[in-house]
Structure 1
Amino acid sequence: MTGLGRRELGGPADFERELSESKAREAALAAVLGIMRRGPSELTAVLESVAMNAVRLCAADNGSIAQLKSDGWRLIANVGDIDQESMERNWGNQPIEANRRSLTGRVLMDRRTTTIVDAQADPEYDAGVGLFNVRSLIGVPLTRGEDIVGVLILRRQEPKPFTPEQVHLLETFADQASIAIENVRLFNETKESLERQTATSEILRVIAASPTEIQPVLDAIAESAARVCGASDAHVYRVEGQVLKQWAHFGPIPGLASGESLPLSRGSVIGRSILDRRAIHIRDAVDLDPAEYPISSQLQRRWEFRTALSVPLVRHGIGIGGIAIRRTHVQPFTPTQIELLETFADQAAIAIANVELFQTVERQRGELSRFLSPQVAALITSEQGAKMLEGHRRQITVVFCDLRGFTAFAETAEPEEVLGVLREYHRVMGELIVEHRGTLEHFAGDGMMIFFNDPLPVERHELQAVRMACAMRESFEEMARAWQKRGYELGFGVGIATGYATLGRIGFEGRYDYGAIGNVVILAQRLSAEAKAGQILLSQRVQAAVETDAETTAVGDLALKGFTRPVPAFAAESVKTPARS
């Protein structure tokens, strides 16, 4: 006989009962779905609704949902007649393993819905014996793919089996709970991924904005590590010799006092992490062996933290520091959080390397500036420097200057006197070259060559060269008056020319100069040789470029060595327009 025939024979009362139960099941399932539609933040409400409706519709005395979390199995929903304290004590005191001692263990072992008709008569069941007044139990797995992520548990105080209809309904509720848990997992993974990306992007932004300072980067890393990893606080340490100094700290747990340090040893978790160059994860710092971790055991009593994680900052295979995050309660960090903290450590190591590299370049640039023109020193250490050093063409203005009467002076004066005069002369002239943005090509005894508009462009470089030469002449006159009192008769002459030249690296491996080659260089040198004491000779092109801004007089055509025709020359008297500030 069919089921329909049996139901008809049962009479209207049975039909009405079955219809009422069907409607109740549908209403319960719809209520759970309604809560699920509110969003992933309602997981607790969904699971409590599942447990409550399961207990009510399956005539159970109480029910629970257990979920597998990162730190083990946890009861996350309890409904009905349950001694909450006994329940938490029982679940907290024993791990859940796949065996027949407990209902959840049997579900994990059999990987399917499991029932115990009478727990008191089951010789293999001993979980909760003496704690709960339970006879019949049923456990339904909550699954994600092939994994069991939770168990829906119902209990009866009387030994009464669950019917097939009730088992089917419970499995439907379990499917709903599994979907809710999976939705929350996906939502949290997406949220955490976004937080990780945001945190790492923020640190990269700070690194880019602070190429010369490490402190803002480490402060940002400490804050992000604590926030994104769900820690109570974060510390960043650096190695200084044989001790660890606190570099940055974020969070309410106290850190090292000002001036305090830790020995760099395996006696602390952070020290061992740095020395062994690996992450060390402590589930509960209360359980640390004082013989193995004497420093961390003392710090745990001092600061009362529980779970701790330390990762090293490694550079060139050497631990240069470390990051430690802690929690004030026992909750192990997830593999994702450990991996993220290692990423933060890598970023910190990169930031430290960047700052050290920048400081090295700046130090080298400063050292180079003692021997080279500042512009050339900057060029050598710049990104485009290599290309420019290879050689290029540019219009420049070249200035040659030297002392008149220096040879006779050097023949009669003591070497110490000669060096004293040159040092003062080079110092004063060097300051004026830098002030006027000229590039010093070389010193040659009492002579020097300067050019403008390379490697840095100089607006109206012809006028800037003339302005510098006039300033040099004025400063020289002051020095010359002092030298005359000591019997030194010296004069100062300058030649200036403008035109195109080839500029770049000149020399050989191990000894290079940055120089200019071309007729403009030769012309400036020849004009300098022709200049009388106190005279600044300009080429015709320089004269044309500065005639509206400088007082000049025509000298006439000069027969210069190496030139087949006479060269027009002009003498600069002064500059009429002031220099731009």
Structure 2
Amino acid sequence: MPLSENIPLRHLLKRQEMELLLQEFSALSPGGALILTETDGQQFAAVGDWEPPDLTTALPQLLQGQMIQHANFIALPLLVKLNFLGALLARQPINQTALRCLHGSLILLLTQALETRDVARETLERYREINLLYTIGETISASLNPQAIYRLVLEGAGHTIQCNVGGILLLSAEDPTQLSVESCFGAADCADILREIGEEILDKTCRAGQAIITTKLRAASKLNTILCAPLKTQKKLLGMILLGRVSDETIFTAGDEKLLATLSGQAAIAVENAQLFADLKRQHDAITEMKRYTDNIFASIASGVITIDSEDAVVTLNRAAKKILQVQADKTIGRPYAQALPGLGPKITSLINAVKAQNAPLTGHELQTSLPHKESASLRLHISPLKDKSQSASGVAIVLDDLTERRQLERRVRQVRQTFERYVAPQVVNQLLSDPARVKLGGERHTVTILFADLRNFTAFSEQHEPETLLEILNQHLTLAVEAILSEEGTLDKFQGDAALALFNVPLPQPDHVLRAVRAALNIQQATAELHRRLPPEHRLGFGIGITSGPVIVGNVGSEAIHNYTAIGRSINMADRIQSQAKAGQILLSNAAYQQVRDRIVAHELGLIRLKGHAEPDLVFEVLDVAT
């Protein structure tokens, strides 16, 4: 009896479920034992303490579906659909009726499992075929190279349809009876073999436009079966795709035939499209050459120039106009301007009509429009009437300049100014405006130094004074902080009630950003001390300042109309935690920031301090002065 593939029980059944099933049946035969074995004799599931016998000598009988019965045990083969899956062993004494029921139940479960497996395999096979057709179709439709199309289709067919030899054969343009091998894989002499096969079956299959599976070939002594599909468009036979299997392989299936026929159809259409595109390109090149001299007349003019006749058809347009509007001469000249000039034609109808009616030019008109390659374009137009020798109107001439980049630059400058002039020193704004492209307003990772200055005892202070007095005193102190930060070209991120947050090393790089932050903090404390000499004692507030350095994400947060340039990251929280430990008049520095300026400042190590939210204490330094 010929057997199919060897399938382990563990791929079909669940071990725990089988052990429960064996336990239920073993209850009908006290003292007995039941074992399910794999084809190699390994136990899959068992009930009872029993060392099963070696069935090696009995394997031929089991493979034939015969039961093995001894005085001490019974072995029943698990044979389903020509698949020998293992054996059911039972130790005597055993209830024969229960054993047959158990064996029948196992055969039923295995039959269902194999059917489910076959359905899943078939579904997966169909999915692979559909995915192959989709992938190849998507790829070759984007390709304009026939050789690349043929190679992709042959590779896809060879990967999906089991075969040993494959190739694409094309008919000669000069002699349609001659075949040449465009691409092939397999044996070293596959090209010669496939050419012989193709010549033998050419009339039988390809000219009729039908795919076939054949096993009767004189030329294919090494091959057992051949699968052939024609490469044919509606009007022309291009060639064929051939796949072959050697003599010890099974023959191709109807599914293989349908799949290869679909692939060949896709390839033929894609190749035909590529050839049509090549023909169109050759025609375009010919037209371009014919118009070359006309283009050269206008080549030296930087502005775009378009002339329109009295019937509103485009007569000429120069190279600059084609570049600005992204149009081609052969698709524009002779057509009505309203249709031939996308994004421009419909919007200038009223302007052209006014020029014709008044017989006077229109100059310096700026137009906002959208073009195929630009969602928003700014064009400056000059429209003048054209007159023939008799001074009669014969159309209009349009001169246009693309101001899009200039207007974008102006908007960029305004955006930079609006974004940064509230946060950074005027000289930094001027540097940004000298090259606005240097600034990317989206989120970017940067290493920055963060300065966090907070007024101490402000809550208690606010409870003792009127709001007007409170706001005046608060602004006096925060103004000092802002001036000190901007004097070191820092970026004022935000005010948080009675605190100010500043960033250094953004938006422009500052090699000494940590030192700048330290100097700004010292200036804040010095300016605060000077302010206190002019204020009564009850109005004096002190800053506690924390400084750290580390990576953050900086960029605009908000909407297009309203946004703030700010930073987000753990280092921001670190600066806040450090300043919370600073007393009024104190400047505390993280270890990361201190290591960058240790030789340029005078500082005192405060030791390890446990900061809120940190599992381990952090080393903190108190800044006393800048080193001289």
Q: Same fold (TM over 0.5)?
A: no
Higher relative contact order (CA 8 A, sep 6+): 1
Please identify which structure carries the higher helix content: 1
TM-score, length-normalised on structure 2?
0.39
